Each structure stands twice: as structure tokens, then as C-alpha cells.
Structure 1
Amino acid sequence: MKKLYIFVLLFTAAVHAQQTFTVYFDLDKDEVNADSYNALQQWMQNNKDVTVFKIAAFTDSRGTDYYNRALSARRAANVEKLLQQNGVLFSEAYTATGLGEIAGGDYDKNRKAVISFIVRQVLVEEESEALAPKNEEREVNNTISEAIKSKGTGKTIVLKNLNFYGNSGIVLPKSKPVLLELLKVMEDNPNLKIDIQGHICCLRKDKDNIALLRAKSVYKFLVDNNIDKSRLTYKSFEGKHPIYPIPEKTHEEEVANRRVEIEIISE
């Protein structure tokens, strides 16, 4: 049996959605205060597998609305800079926003920035057949095979329902049957050669090479299951060819743009 990495996205909030970490600021300051700076450094040291998708910063209600919005925006930007300097990953749909004042309450607690994030963790490396094709799993439909026959050499095919967690090359668990179907097509058509093409959502420029990771993830799955490397190539198209226009209007559109396509090189 092969060793395979099993990846999952862990959601630890009650609704399995997100976690937050809050830092605080002194009066009229846009840099986090000393206590929060130390706490943030410790948090980053202890949380290497997080992806940040939002920073929302606030002020107390002492200044004017214009002043407070500008100050909160600087606070959000400075927290972002601290995270970037320490190698923290950001979601493709990441936002940093200064939301101005919080009225009433404790002034000290209102001068804050809330970091929203999710945790991605490698659970286990084990002797496993978790992603290996089993007989009962090979009863897949012929969607990819039919598309190849109908389109022919030089055409591209979207691997429908092969989707990924945001800002990663990790395939969503529900997409496993698509990988198995593609593997069966490659096995049944020994002369078939394909170029695997990765795409991202939300942004045109792929500064973290996420699209390449997505293409490589499919490539590695096929190679690990005995498809000869000479039949496969892979590349990134970043966010240059979205299915839905960027910025996307819904979460579903973002998921659809985070995709892999294959181009038929020869049959």
C-alpha cells in the first residue's frame, strides 16, 4: 500500500465555520499595543496551519466619524502587515476593512482588530488506501470519457465538481469520485495525453501559486496511481480565465472558479 497524505479542513467553531483572534490598540494608535503584539506573536508561532480570510478593525467613539474610519483602516492594514511578515496565509477572497467606531461599552475593548481564520491541518500520514481506487468505487459515470470523445484533440474539458478549499490545492472530499473517474479514463485510454490546468477564484494574479498546486494535486494523484508521467503535464492559468466574472457574486461562483481543466494533447 502507498503512503498517502490525508488532508482535511477543520472547522472548530460551533457551526464548523471559523475562528477569531482579537488584538487591541492604545488610544489613537494604529499599531497593536505591547500586550497584543506579544500575544499575536505567540498565536502565530502556535498556529502554522491557518488561513486568514478577514480582518475587521474598529475604534472607540471619541473621534469624528472620518477620523475613526481612517484610523480603523490603518489598524487593519498594520495587522495585515504583521501577519504577512510572519508568513501567515490569506484566503483568495481575503478582505481587510476599517469599520470605524463602536459606540458605548468599554473604550479599551472597542479599540481592536478581529482576525477571522480557518484551520487547515495535516491529520495523519499513514499506510492507507483511502484514495486508492477500490472495485466498488470504480463504478463511475462516463462524463469525462464522453467529453473527450465529443471534443477531441486540442480541446479543454472542465472537471466538473472537482473543487478545492480556498487558498489551497486540497480537493474537497466530495470531489473524490471525479479523480477516480479521471483515473479510469486514463487507464482505459492508454494513448491519451493531457495537460492539467489549474485556476483560482477571486483574483486575477496568483501570488501564492495556488492554481499550480491544484493542477499538481491532480497530476500527483494520477502518477501515484500508476499513470505514466510522460502522458501528463500541468500548468497554472491563475485567475485569468474564470468561469464567472471576477469578483464573483456568490460563494458558489467562487467554488466554481477554483477548478482544474484538462486539455486533450493526444488521444
Structure 2
Amino acid sequence: MKFFILFFVLFFGIIHAQMIQSIYFEHDSYKLNRESEKKLDSLAQLKGNLKFRIFGNCDSIGNGNYNKILSENRANTVSKYLQTRIKSNITLENVIGLGEEKQINDNSSEELRRKNRRVDIFIDRVLMTGEKISGETRLSFVDMNVLDMKIQNTYSLPNVNFIGGRHVWLPTGNETIVKLLKILRDHPTLEVELQGHICCDYDNFDGKDLDLNTFNLSYTRANAIKEFLQMQGIDSSRIRVSGQGHLDPVAYPEETEADRTSNRRVEIVLLKK
């Protein structure tokens, strides 16, 4: 138990604006297992002035009305458990059941359905009036010598930003992506992970991709770059893709269009030289 508490306190000690934790459920159930209880116990120990917002979700098995009620029961179960454990520094808000409306996976396998059977807990740090947070400034992947790069470090892809709600990057990113392609061609042993980000949507795990009508916009942004690199001859096995949602903004709160654009981005992690 002490390990779980220590892990979450250390991990969430770096909360800049918002983080997320998910609690998973068995099929057709809203009962917490012991692992979930341990995770919630750890969240209740977090320090600082925080707000928790709780959203229940379901897979697509069953009819819409039944799934709506099931997702509400899951959200309420998590809320009631936390209410008995949180201190005065944490406020519970927005306990909502979304049914099957905001699935992040396509339910094509049991593993993907399991990931849809969840409650998302958004953890917001309450900012002081006028407070603005800037994310970490990262070195540029395309402007560094590969020999100087470190495995598992995250690097920026300068000017690779996206149209709002879409996985289409702005023309200002073309030069950077061409440089990225050249680096991967010149160093055929490199393996990387592309990590997509969004702005603005703070009530969902991820944003809605208006072109695909899915709620995995940060993933589809990163995947769009992977698909381009594949078409140019880069082996897909060298490129992983992940969606980070809105959980690591470079500017928060997003007060201007420039703030929003800067958060609609893809970054890159070096996995192997």
C-alpha cells in the first residue's frame, strides 16, 4: 500500500494543469476490484488544491439506455468511494455517465472493449487568478546530432502543428517533417515514438477527430505523420504511435489562438539508435 501511495504522490507532484487516471471494470459490472481501490486510495492522498471530475464509460455491448445507466453506476461507485477518503483540498465535480458515446477504442477485441469499460478521473490543479503555465521546453529532434540524442528522451518537432479538430498538419510543418524523413533514412537503425497532443477539450480523454468521427484525435495526428513516413519508404516497425490527449500542454490556460495552436502538436521520443 505504501508503494502505491508513494508512486502517485511522486507522479502527481508534477501536475501542471491536468492529469488523468482510469479505473477499469469487468463486463456488465460496476464493482471495484482491489487494484482499483488501491489506486483510488492513492489519489485521495494527493496534495495541493485539486478538482476531480469523474466520467463513466462502457463498451458497445447492450443497448444504449442500459449502457448509459451502467456508466452512471460506475461513475457513482468511484465518486462514493472517493468521498469517504479525500481531504478538504480535493473537490469532486462532474460525476457523469457517458454510456458508449465517448469510446476511445473500436471494440474489435476483448482487450479493446476492456479499455472502454472504465471511469476516467480528470485531476485539475486549481490555478491562482492570472496564473499561466508553460510546459517544458524540449530540444528539436531535427536540429540535433543523432549522436547527442538520448534514448527515451522526448524532443520537439518544431512548427508541426495541426488544424483544430483535424489530423491535418499546417503547411508550416512541412520542412520539419521532410527533415525528419531524411534523419530516418540516413540512420536506418533509429526507432521512434510519435506522441500526439490536442488543445481545448478538457471533458474527454481525447479530442474528436472531425474527419473520422472518433475520439482519438491526438493518436490520429501522430499516426498521420507515421503514414506519411511509411509512404516514403520508412518501415512501420520503426515507428510507434501514441495519443497523449490534452494532458501535457505547452500553454495553459489557452487564452489565445497561438496558445491553442502550440498545443495541437506531435512530439517524438527516441526509442533506439
TM more than 0.5: no
Q: Give the TM interval when normalised to the shorter protein.
A: 0.3 to 0.5
Between structure 1 and structure 2, the one with the greater Rg is 1
Which protein is richer in strand relative to its size? Answer: 1
Q: TM-score, normalised by structure 1?
A: 0.45
